[in-house]
A and B are shown apart, each in its own frame.
Chain A
Amino acid sequence: MTESPNGRAAQHTVTIRPEPSGGPPRPSEPLLSELSVAGRCGQRLPMPDVPVTPLPSGSLLRPALPLPELSEPEVVRHFTRLSQLNYAVDTGFYPLGSCTMKHNPKIDDEMAGLPGFAGLHPYQPAEMVQGALRLMWELERALAEITGFSAVTLQPAAGAHGELAGMLMIRAHHLARGETARRRVLVPDSAHGTNPATAAMCGYEAVTVPSDARGNVDLAALERLLGPDVAALMITVPSTLGLFDERMLDMTAAVHAAGALVYGDGANLNALLGIARPADLGLDVLHINLHKTFAQPHGGGGPGAGPVAVRADLEPYLPVPVVRRVGEGVYDLAYDRPQSIGQVRAFGGHFGVLVRAYTYIRLLGADGLRRVSEAAVLHANYLRAALREWYDVAYDRPCMHEVLLSGRRQKAAGARTLDVAKRLIDYGFHPPTIYFPLVVDEALMIEPTETEAKPTLDAFVAAMAAIAREAASTPDVLHAAPHDTPVGRLDEATAARHPVLRWPQTPAPRAESGEPPSATRASR
C-alpha cells in the first residue's frame, strides 16, 4: 500500500495476478469465415425504385462473391468479444516510449463525428465548407505558434508521411539553389527506423552519426561528416533516448554553416509544449504527430496525422492545396503554387483527426499545453528516480518526457528485457517499448505521459520492483510469462517461415451446376 500525503492509505494496491488455474484453455474467437452460414445477412438496403437497366455483359461481372454471411447480432458479439481481448489506454497504463499514449478526451471524438464535418465531400466548393476551412486555418496558426514556424501543411496522413513531405521540401530547396551534389542525409544512431527509410525514399543516402556517452549527438563526428554533399541532418527533439541534446544550438548552427538543413522528427513534442519552440532551436522543418502530442486516439495502429511546419523560405514548397484566408472570415484553397512538391495524398489531409487536435488545443490553451509538458517530464523523472534502485538507467542525467533503462542487470541474472516485458502483463500493465533505441543494450523505454495519476505510477514502480526481485530469484516465472492472457507467447518464427496471411479461400463455384457459391470454407 502506498501512503498518500494526507496520511490515508492510497486506494491502489499492487495485485499480483495468480498463477494459471490449470483449467481448460479459453476458446479463441472464431474468424468471420468460421462463423459464416449461407443465407445469413446483417444489413438490408432499400430496393431501387427506378425502371431496371440491364446489367453489363457477363464477362465484366464477377461470378461469385466469397464474403462471409452473418447477421447483425453475430457481428456485434464477434467484434465486441474481440475488443475485449485488447489492452488499451482506456483500460490502463500504456507507457510505450515515444508513442505518447495519453488519454484521448472523449469530446474530441464527438466533435469529429458532427454531421457538419462527417458529411462533407472534399470537392464541395469553398463557400459550402467555410467552417472546415476556418478550422484548418486556425489549427495551422496554432501549430505554427506552438512550434515557432511560419507555415504549416495539414496534408500528411501520418508522421512518416510528414517526414516524406518534409524531406521532399528540403530536396526542393536545394534543387532550387542548384545544389544537386547534396545526396547524403545524416541520421543519429538512435533514430527511429522511419528516418533512414524516408531518406532512402527521397533518393538520399542515409549516413549514421554516433551518439556520445552522455546521449548527445557526437558533435565532433557530426562536424567531420558535414560537407557540401550533405542535404540535411534528421533529429528527434528530445531524442529517442529521452534526452535534450546539451549542444543543441551548436549542433544546428554547424549544420547551417555547412549549407544543410535540420529536419525535426516531432514524435517527442510532448516534452516541449510551452517549454521550447523547435524553430528557436535551429530546426528548419518539423513534422508533428497529432496522434501522439495532440491526443488523436491511436486506433490500434492509426489513423494519425503528420502536419509539417516549415520556416518562411520553405513555404513555397508546401504540398497543394494550401488553405488561405482571402478576406475577413473568408477562406479558400489555393492550388496554383508552381514550386509546390505536389500532393502527398489525394483529397487533402485527415480532416477528422484535425478536428480532434483543434478541439484538444482549445481545451488546453497556452497555459494547459505548458502544464502538459511539465507534468510529462515530471512523471518521467519521477519514474527514473524510483526505478534506478532496480534497473540500470542508461544515461546519467535528467531525462525529458521518457526514461530509458537497460535490462543489463536482469540479463546477468538470467532474464532478458523481453521476459520483464511479458511479466509486466501479468501485473496488469502494458509493457514499455523494448529493444529500441538500438544503441542501448536490452533497452526499456518508458513514457508515462501527463495523464497518469501518481497512484498508477507508484503501482507501476512496485510491479517493476517485484519483477526485478523475481528476475534475481526465480527467473523462470518471467520466462513463462504472460500466464493469464488469451494466448501465451506465440511462435513467431514458424509464423514467418510458413506465412498464413488470410483465412482459407472459398473454392470457386462450379459454373455448370448453377448453384449459388458455397459460403463454407474448405481448408487449404
Chain B
Amino acid sequence: MTPDDRRYSSEHEWAKLDGGEVTVGITDFAQEQLGDVVYVELPSVGDQLKQGRVMGVVESVKAASDLYSPVSGEVIAINDAVVSEPQKLNDAPYADGWLIRVRPDNPGELDNLMTAAQYDLHVSDRGPEE
C-alpha cells in the first residue's frame, strides 16, 4: 500500500511534510527494482538541494541509481542508520529507511509532486524494468 500521507516524484522518491520539515526517502517500487541495497551516499547536513537535482547515490549488487531531491532546501538531518545498515532501505523504505530531512525553501513545491494514487498509476504504466 503506497502511503497517502506524502508525495512522490517520478524518480521514485517520496517527500513527507511534517511540522515545517520534509522527510525524504525512496519508494517500495524503487527498493524492489534495485534489489539488496549495499551502499547509500547521502548529502551532508547543511547542503543546499534543488528539486529534481541529483543529491546522492544508492547502490545494490547489480545496479546503481542516482537519488534526486524531491524538494529544494537545506539538509538538516541524515539517517546514519541507513548508511551503516543499508538493508533498512529494503525492509522499511517508508519508515526506518528514510534518507534525509530538509528545511524546505518553499513547502508549496510539494504540489509539483504526485499523490499516492498518481504515483501508483505512474508505476503501473511503466511496467516492469530490469
A and B interact: yes
> Assuming A493-B61, A497-B86, A497-B87, is B128 touching A441 (CB within 8 A)?
yes
A497 touches B39 (CB 8 A): yes
Interface residues of B in 38-74 (CB under 8 A from A): 38-39, 59-62
Could you tell me the distance in whole angstroms from the C-beta of B54 to the nearest C-beta in chain A?
15
Q: How far is the CA of A497 from the CA of B86 in the complex (A)?
A: 8
Q: Which of A441, A492, A496, A497 contacts B130 (CB 8 A)?
A: A441
- Contact flags B93-122 to A (C-beta < 8 A → 1, else 0): 000000000000000000000000000000
Contacts of B61 in A (CB 8 A): 492-493, 496
Q: How far is the CA of A435 from the CA of B35 in the complex (A)?
A: 14
Interface residues of A in 411-453 (CB under 8 A from B): 435, 438, 441-442
Interface residue B36 (Cβ < 8 Å from any Cβ of A): yes
Q: How far is the CA of A347 from the CA of B111 in the complex (A)?
A: 60
B130 touches A438 (CB 8 A): yes
B130 touches A435 (CB 8 A): yes
B128 touches A496 (CB 8 A): no
Q: How far is the CA of A435 from the CA of B36 in the complex (A)?
A: 17
Contacts of A496 in B (CB 8 A): 36, 38-39, 59, 61
Could you tell me the distance in whole angstroms from the C-beta of A299 to the nearest C-beta in chain B?
25
Q: Which of B35, B38, B128 contacts A497 (CB 8 A)?
A: B38
With both beta carbons as reference points, the residue of chain B lying nearest to A435 in the complex is identified as B130
Contacts of A438 in B (CB 8 A): 130
Q: How far is the CA of A497 from the CA of B128 in the complex (A)?
A: 26
B130 touches A493 (CB 8 A): no
Could you tell me the distance in whole angstroms from the C-beta of B66 to the nearest C-beta in chain A?
14
Q: How far is the CA of A497 from the CA of B38 in the complex (A)?
A: 5
Contacts of A442 in B (CB 8 A): 130
A493 touches B38 (CB 8 A): yes
Q: How many residues of A contact B (CB 8 A)?
A: 8
With both beta carbons as reference points, the residue of chain A lying nearest to B38 in the complex is identified as A496
Contacts of B38 in A (CB 8 A): 493, 496-497
Interface residues of A in 470-524 (CB under 8 A from B): 492-493, 496-497
Q: How far is the CA of A136 from the CA of B26 in the complex (A)?
A: 55
Could you tell me the distance in whole angstroms from the C-beta of A438 to the nearest C-beta in chain B?
6
Q: How far is the CA of A492 from the CA of B130 in the complex (A)?
A: 18
With both beta carbons as reference points, the residue of chain A lying nearest to B90 in the complex is identified as A493
With both beta carbons as reference points, the residue of chain B lying nearest to A491 in the complex is identified as B36
A493 touches B128 (CB 8 A): no
With both beta carbons as reference points, the residue of chain B lying nearest to A411 in the complex is identified as B128
Q: How far is the CA of A438 from the CA of B33 in the complex (A)?
A: 14
With both beta carbons as reference points, the residue of chain A lying nearest to B86 in the complex is identified as A497
Contacts of B62 in A (CB 8 A): 435
Could you tell me the distance in whole angstroms from the C-beta of B123 to the nearest C-beta in chain A?
17
Contacts of B130 in A (CB 8 A): 435, 438, 441-442
Which residue, B38, B39, B87, has most C-beta atoms of chain A within 10 A?
A: B38
Q: How far is the CA of A497 from the CA of B35 in the complex (A)?
A: 13
Could you tell me the distance in whole angstroms from the C-beta of A373 to the nearest C-beta in chain B?
31
With both beta carbons as reference points, the residue of chain A lying nearest to B128 in the complex is identified as A441
Contacts of A441 in B (CB 8 A): 128, 130
With both beta carbons as reference points, the residue of chain B lying nearest to A441 in the complex is identified as B130
Could you tell me the distance in whole angstroms from the C-beta of A246 to the nearest C-beta in chain B?
25
Could you tell me the distance in whole angstroms from the C-beta of B34 to the nearest C-beta in chain A?
11
Contacts of B39 in A (CB 8 A): 496-497
Could you tell me the distance in whole angstroms from the C-beta of A314 to the nearest C-beta in chain B?
34
Contacts of B59 in A (CB 8 A): 496
Q: How far is the CA of A473 from the CA of B128 in the complex (A)?
A: 25
Q: How far is the CA of A442 from the CA of B130 in the complex (A)?
A: 8
Q: How far is the CA of A29 from the CA of B60 in the complex (A)?
A: 29
Q: How far is the CA of A457 from the CA of B116 in the complex (A)?
A: 51
With both beta carbons as reference points, the residue of chain B lying nearest to A440 in the complex is identified as B130
Q: How far is the CA of A442 from the CA of B128 in the complex (A)?
A: 11
Contacts of A493 in B (CB 8 A): 35-36, 38, 60-61, 87
Could you tell me the distance in whole angstroms from the C-beta of A520 to the nearest C-beta in chain B?
32
Q: How far is the CA of A441 from the CA of B87 in the complex (A)?
A: 26
Q: How far is the CA of A435 from the CA of B38 in the complex (A)?
A: 20
Interface residues of A in 447-474 (CB under 8 A from B): none
Q: How far is the CA of A2 from the CA of B35 in the complex (A)?
A: 42
Q: How far is the CA of A320 from the CA of B38 in the complex (A)?
A: 43
Q: How far is the CA of A131 from the CA of B20 in the complex (A)?
A: 77
Q: How far is the CA of A435 from the CA of B129 in the complex (A)?
A: 11
Interface residues of B in 17-41 (CB under 8 A from A): 35-36, 38-39
Contacts of A435 in B (CB 8 A): 62, 130
Interface residues of A in 295-317 (CB under 8 A from B): none
Could you tell me the distance in whole angstroms from the C-beta of A265 to the nearest C-beta in chain B?
22
Q: How far is the CA of A475 from the CA of B59 in the complex (A)?
A: 29
Q: How far is the CA of A442 from the CA of B60 in the complex (A)?
A: 18
Q: How far is the CA of A496 from the CA of B62 in the complex (A)?
A: 10
Could you tell me the distance in whole angstroms from the C-beta of B63 to the nearest C-beta in chain A?
10
Could you tell me the distance in whole angstroms from the C-beta of B61 to the nearest C-beta in chain A?
5
Q: How far is the CA of A64 from the CA of B19 in the complex (A)?
A: 59
Which residue, B39, B59, B62, B130, has most C-beta atoms of chain A within 10 A?
A: B130
Q: How far is the CA of A497 from the CA of B61 in the complex (A)?
A: 9
Q: How far is the CA of A442 from the CA of B61 in the complex (A)?
A: 17
Contacts of B60 in A (CB 8 A): 493
Q: What would be 23 A-B contacts, judged by CB atoms less than 8 Å apart?
A: A435-B62, A435-B130, A438-B130, A441-B128, A441-B130, A442-B130, A492-B36, A492-B61, A493-B35, A493-B36, A493-B38, A493-B60, A493-B61, A493-B87, A496-B36, A496-B38, A496-B39, A496-B59, A496-B61, A497-B36, A497-B38, A497-B39, A497-B87
A residues within 8 Å of B by Cβ? 435, 438, 441-442, 492-493, 496-497
Which 4 A-B pairs have CB atoms at the shortest separation, nearest pair first?
A: A493-B36, A496-B38, A492-B61, A497-B38
Given contacts A496-B38, A496-B59, A497-B87, 5 further A-B contacts (CB under 8 A): A435-B130, A438-B130, A492-B61, A493-B61, A493-B87
